[in-house]
Chain A
Amino acid sequence: MLKQVAPRLTPEQYENNFSDINPPLTQSQALEEGSRCLFCYDAPCIKACPTEINVPQFIRQIGTGNVTGAATTILNANIMGHSCARVCPTSVLCEGACVLNYENKRPVDIGKLQRYAVDSVMDTLKLFEPPADNGKKVALIGAGPASLSCATELRRHGYKVTIFDANPLPGGLDTYGIAAYKLRASDAVREIELVRRLGVEIKSNVLVGKDASLVELEKNYDAIFIGIGLGGTDDLGIPGEDLEGCIDALTFIRETKENPFDEVLVGNKVAVIGGGNTAIDVVTAAHRLGAEEVYMIYRRGEAEASAFKYEIELAKKDEISFIWQAAPTKILGRGKVESLECVKTMLGPADTSGRRSPQNISGSEFRLDVDMVIKALGQSKKTEFLQSINGMKLEKGRVVVNAETCQTANPKYFAGGDCVNGGGEVVDAVAHGKKAAAGIHAHLAGKSANMRGTHA
């Protein structure tokens, strides 16, 4: 139990608080917005999309009433087009590159148009007719965006593909780790039906290394793709982390995705430690679940926070109390969290990475009366599992791969997504998956890697 839980809201309030942050476009809105697209040639939005979706093409298809064609254009480039339409940071990707920005005009709302196209046919579309089995089998570990994308591409070439996933539901962070007002777990899972329809087998509740051994996989499959993502949130390394009410961010977000909102345990006063996008997801979720005071504590300043600007703006609208330039020093309480002690920081000289590292200002300690502390420091690497693979090379816990083929140091293994890039967007993972599929195909079929639109 917590010292004090947030007041319970009505079912309508919960639904309202977690309703779609970007509601879908009507047909009329889609046509009007789509007509703003100039149909650029060699368009910058394509080049700024890690999966190279032919944006002008799909917008034109919406305009001609060929919505199925529009969805096909999107999904052929990015099988996770449904969730990417909702969760992509479009302002630094396609929409950030839109030429209308140069005229100080609002860029085309590509994300919403993509959602319009994909949503309307997602439940029925069979993206392609896979060719006859080519006799080769590929196992994919983890059912997140990287594996789903890789599996889809492999089906184009007739590989028999099986995804092994430790969770009850497929989708990885797409299902469990994205704020509910952006993407509901049910929608993430709906999207994965698109992948299953192509003949991809997904084995849930199977933890490779425990429920299935690597030796077995190596014996039964011609190649193995690792798309396991990252582990739990890093520890704070301060006293009191074991108190009840101190949890990690992903566990908290997962609660909001798996359970009814009124069953999610949330304190009335919540401190969230971190300055990234996950921290934003947590503070907004805590606020929307009814917490009356939510602090976001980051040891650098707002300008240095890694969260996107629009995410910070969102949190500001949710009346989050930002405490910039402060670091937690200890969590206090008898059995459960009662307060958090922090110290103010100042930015010291730039370190080797060029970022100014914060230094505690001694004597500036202060205490916050809180019921819950949520750690959103970034995720740890799954080094133990990765090191159990023969010959696997890691660098700072990340899997080292050939940038062109995603092949690891063990030639039978390929890898992509967060376990390779240390934590990126869904769209980055999808791009990796495509690249890895081409790499696997080249490796197994002895053909040159077919680099179908990816540059991540």
Chain B
Amino acid sequence: MPDISVDFCGVKSPNPFWLGSGPPANTAYQVMRAFDAGWGGAVWKTIGEPIMNVSSRYGSIDYKNERMIGLNNIELISDRPIETNFTEITEVKKKYPKNVVVASLMVESKQATWHEIVKRTNDSGADLIELNFGCPHGMSERGMGAAVGQVPEYAGMITAWVKEVAKIPVIVKLTPNVTDIAHMAATVNAAGADAVSLINTINSLVGVDLDTWVPRPIVGGASSHGGYCGPAVKPIALNMVASVSHHPKVNIPISGIGGIANWRDAVEFMLLGSTSVQVCTAAMHYGFRIVEDMAEGLNNYLAEKGMQSAMELVGKSVNKVKDWGDLNLNYKVIAKIDPEKCIGCNLCYIACEDGAHQCITAAPRPFGDLREGTPAKHMPQIKEDHCVGCNLCALVCPVPQCITMQEIDTGRPPMNWRQLQESRGKNPTCSMDELLAKGAAR
């Protein structure tokens, strides 16, 4: 039986699944319910001077029958007294010593204020601190959250203040609303951070009501930009996690966040360098019970792959993310349609014809109905000589495994764009194709 526990900055977590800082981890009651359900840890809803919230607070994107593929919020940090939160953290840790409790903090940008709250955290029994430098709405207008996380100097300075007094490891939560999140990770790493977590929510307006012309969520006839999260943001988050993993000056653990809803998502984040993952939207959507399959799914996956520990996953895919210029130009795939599986919807044809490279033909479908007998099966054909191997047809095909991309042996040794550029410099009279045919020098 594989071991799904993880070690995060020396803190042992029974599994990599933590509740992210947000409404599901607002109170001891919720966090204890979550631990009972099987969550390994929880990042408390950000503690600071209690705020006031508005009503309403959330907006979402639905897609066809799926509700809430993207969620946006304009809710602020905890609206409960600082002392209440810390008392509850202590209570939870007492009852659940094996589960990880992370205190998320945000206070005004003064050294003394930070020192004060970090010292209070030290005494609470929390395992880790997470600095909320990411909240993109409301708090940033008051000089906190993303207002800190978007300026490397501020982020580094406050991280250093915190580290002056912190007795437990410090995670810095990064905002995606920056040009280069990896640079920010390197900055806080240099300032002493023990780990980073990413991504926080993305600046967003989730939509506009077509009848009132007010963007959502509506607060008395107006709205405000909020933070976007949920399944829709996962690809953005994965890329950011990978870029942080890659950065030569980042050598601290990562807690991955952004659209994680099941064990598969979690594994992807871990493969790109996350040691733990944080889940918020999915718990808000379906409740804490989703963790059961997350743990079991991860366990089964590790067993299938013959792995002993979840820790083995961490970073396995990082080196497989390369610069474009390092990709082999002589690698070639083309699309194949399985005639048995094809249902004749022509979606591959029209996608390729209008949206890609005109490499599929489809004869006009004849008229006729079943009263005249079963019509002959209609099937588009790949122009194999033309197919550029872009994947689009396989992506739009509604039938699993009907269109597959098959590797073609070009007979050419590998050569990437960098090598091609070098080769062009050395052989200015040769055509690109001649250079590619030769491949890279060994």
Contacts and interface: CB of A to CB of B under 8 A. Distances in A.
B428 interface: no
B378 A44 contact: yes
Contact of B370 (A41, A63, A92): A92
A432 B315 CA distance: 67
A38 B347 contact: yes
Interface residues of B, number: 24
A102 B370 contact: no
Contacts of A99: 343-345
Given A40-B345, A41-B350, A44-B378, 15 more contacts: A32-B65, A40-B347, A42-B346, A42-B362, A43-B346, A43-B365, A47-B366, A92-B369, A92-B371, A93-B370, A97-B370, A99-B344, A102-B343, A102-B344, A455-B368
Contacts of A50: 369
A152 B183 CA distance: 68
A455 B362 CA distance: 21
Interface string B329-363: 00000000000001111110110000000000010
B370 A38 contact: no
- 10 closest pairs, A vs B, by CB? A41-B350, A41-B346, A102-B343, A48-B369, A35-B64, A99-B343, A92-B370, A96-B370, A455-B367, A40-B345
Interface of B: 64-65, 342-347, 349-350, 362, 364-371, 375, 377-378, 398-399
Nearest to B63: A35
B370 A47 contact: no
B375 A97 contact: yes
Contacts of A40: 344-347
Given A39-B347, A99-B344, A44 B371 contact: no
A103 interface: yes
Chain A, interface size category, equals: 20 to 34
Interface string A21-59: 000000000011001001111111001111000000000
Given A32-B65, A35-B64, A97-B375, A47 B345 contact: no
B346 A47 contact: no
Contacts, number: 65
Interface string A89-103: 001110011011011
A44 B365 contact: yes
Given A47-B368, A99-B343, A100-B343, A38 B378 contact: no
B226 to A, nearest CB: 24
Contacts of A91: 370
Contacts of B365: 42-44, 47
Nearest to B350: A41
Interface of A: 31-32, 35, 38-44, 47-50, 63, 91-93, 96-97, 99-100, 102-103, 455
B65 A35 contact: yes
B368 A41 contact: no
A299 B368 CA distance: 30
A156 to B, nearest CB: 22
B369 to A, nearest CB: 4
B370 A48 contact: yes
A96 B370 CA distance: 7
A40 B347 CA distance: 6
Nearest to A93: B369
A88 B324 CA distance: 55
Given A41-B349, A99-B343, A47 B367 contact: yes
23 contacts: A35-B65, A38-B345, A38-B347, A39-B347, A40-B345, A41-B345, A41-B350, A41-B362, A42-B365, A43-B345, A43-B346, A44-B378, A47-B365, A47-B367, A48-B368, A50-B369, A63-B64, A91-B370, A92-B369, A93-B371, A102-B344, A103-B343, A455-B368
B80 to A, nearest CB: 38
B361 to A, nearest CB: 12
Contacts of B344: 40, 44, 99, 102
Contacts of A47: 365-368
Nearest to A89: B371
Nearest to B399: A103
A98 to B, nearest CB: 9
Nearest to B374: A96
B352 to A, nearest CB: 11
A103 B397 CA distance: 13
A97 B369 contact: yes
Contacts of B364: 42
Contacts of B342: 102
A410 B202 CA distance: 73
A35 B67 CA distance: 13
Contacts of A100: 343
Interface core residue of B65, B369, B377, B399 (most chain A CB under 10 Å): B369
B288 to A, nearest CB: 27
Contacts of A41: 345-347, 349-350, 362
Interface core residue of A38, A39, A44 (most chain B CB under 10 Å): A44
B212 to A, nearest CB: 16
A307 B349 CA distance: 38
Interface core residue of B65, B349, B364, B365 (most chain A CB under 10 Å): B365
A35 B342 CA distance: 20
A416 to B, nearest CB: 17
A43 B365 CA distance: 8
Interface core residue of A43, A63, A102, A103 (most chain B CB under 10 Å): A102
A177 B378 CA distance: 37
Contacts of B375: 44, 48, 97
Contacts of B377: 102
B69 to A, nearest CB: 13
A42 B363 CA distance: 10
